[in-house]
Amino acid sequence: MKRSDFMRLEELEIFLEVANQKSMSIAGNNLNMSPQNISVTIARLEAELEVSLFSRTRQGIFLKESGKKLYSFSKKVIEEFSTLKTDLEGQNKNAGSCVSGEIRILSSINLAFLIATLTETLQKRYPNIKILLLEQTDLCLTKRNFEDNHDIICTSYEKNFLSGYIGSPRPDDAYVLKEENLRLFFKKDDPLIKRKAISLRALKKLPLIAYCTSDSNSQIYSQLLNHKGIKLNHIFSSNNINLCVDYLENNRAYYLGTTLLFNTLFKPIQTGVTSIPLKDKISIIHVLFVRKNTSSTVKLLIDMIRNYFGHTLYEIDHYFGFKR
């Protein structure tokens, strides 16, 4: 049997929610999924089991006999998994109390939100680990300076700029977390939603905002766009994230950035905002530098970052096809 033929726990949870709500749209709202994705999941389950699970009526959808059997099975599986998860979390908590150490991180201002979220999760699991996170702007981290005894540096570069550094000797391991193209983000009721892409020339006429520190000239996006004659309106106040959210929600400005950074910075308004690509692609690469011969405590965080991105981290030399 192929791996794709096995039911996943997530599919059973979706099935239970649909059965409980007797509606795919309500289940979708509760699970933050579109009705189309809910429908695809149910159809996939029915195809795998070769049965029809629901009767569709004007009053809603109701379980057939085959659906009732799957319902009982799914509840049992979910309950047993929940019990197992609780037991394992208890074991991890006891094991975590024995792990200690310090991790010093230097991160760009944009990626710091993501790194802070991951380190918070790590500290909940291992409460005796001490983490020091220092934020700077992207271009301040160009030299990847480990002189201040930082274990990890996390920042972003424009792809062509970064490729010039590959192959040079360095006292650290370098990994690519993700490569993305800049996109324009805006409310779904904006007229721009009809466009498939937007030109750099058109960007010059739009009010663009960026989240950054007061040192705006050290922002990689500022440098890139200034060379192309595009101005970013930087938000400097201590409440800058909330201001950016307010501008986006009220159609007062547009946000230019990558999907990873948008989803990290603006989670509260994700569902009400969409984006389009630039016609002239500008590739941004998010990079992780790790001090060589690092401690086992640092490796715990590296593993968490690796799991977050869902892959083994790409070594930067291999990413660019450079053989050392």
Going from N- to C-terminal start, the domains of the chain cover 3-93, 100-174+290-311, 183-280
Q: Using one digit for the tens of pLDDT, what is the confidence trace for 274-323?
A: 889 999 888 888 888 888 888 889 989 988 888 888 776 777 767 666 55
Confidence of residue 253 (pLDDT cuts 50, 70, 90): confident
Region at 248 (left for phi over 0; alpha for psi -120 to 50; beta for the rest): alpha
Q: Using one digit for the tens of pLDDT, what is the confidence trace for 4-21?
A: 445 678 888 899 989 988
Q: Using one digit for the tens of pLDDT, what is the confidence trace for 124-164?
A: 888 888 999 887 766 666 655 556 678 888 888 888 777 66
- Name 302's Cβ contacts closer than 8 Å, sequence gap at least 6: 152, 288, 290, 294, 313
Contact (CB, 8 A) for 30 and 17: yes
Contact (CB, 8 A) for 187 and 178: no
Burial of 227 (0-12, 13-18, 19+ CB in 10 A): exposed
The pLDDT value recorded for residue 6 is 55
- Name 162's Cβ contacts closer than 8 Å, sequence gap at least 6: 285, 287
Question: Does domain 3-93 fall into CATH 1.10.3720.10?
Answer: no
The pLDDT value recorded for residue 251 is 77
Q: Using one digit for the tens of pLDDT, what is the confidence trace for 173-214?
A: 888 888 889 888 888 888 888 899 999 888 888 887 766 655
Contact (CB, 8 A) for 256 and 208: yes
What CATH number was assigned to the domain covering residues 100-174+290-311? 3.40.190.10
> Model's pTM, two decimal places?
0.63
Summary count for the chain: helices (H), strands (E): 12, 13
- Provide the angle, in degrees to the nearest 10, between the axes of the packed helices 35-49 and 24-31: 110
CATH architecture under which domain 183-280 falls: 3-Layer(aba) Sandwich (3.40)
Amino acid at 317: D
Contact (CB, 8 A) for 44 and 4: no
Q: Using one digit for the tens of pLDDT, what is the confidence trace for 90-123?
A: 666 555 567 788 899 988 877 888 888 889 888 8
Choose between 224 and 64: higher pLDDT. Answer: 64
Place of tokens 């809603």: 60
Choose between 199 and 223: higher pLDDT. Answer: 199
> Which two structure tokens, joined as six digits, stand for 179?
């490569």
Say if 100-174+290-311 and 183-280 have the same CATH topology.
yes
Residue 274 is inside which H or E element, if any?
Answer: strand 273-277
Q: CA-CA distance, 82 to 79, in Å (whole number)?
A: 5
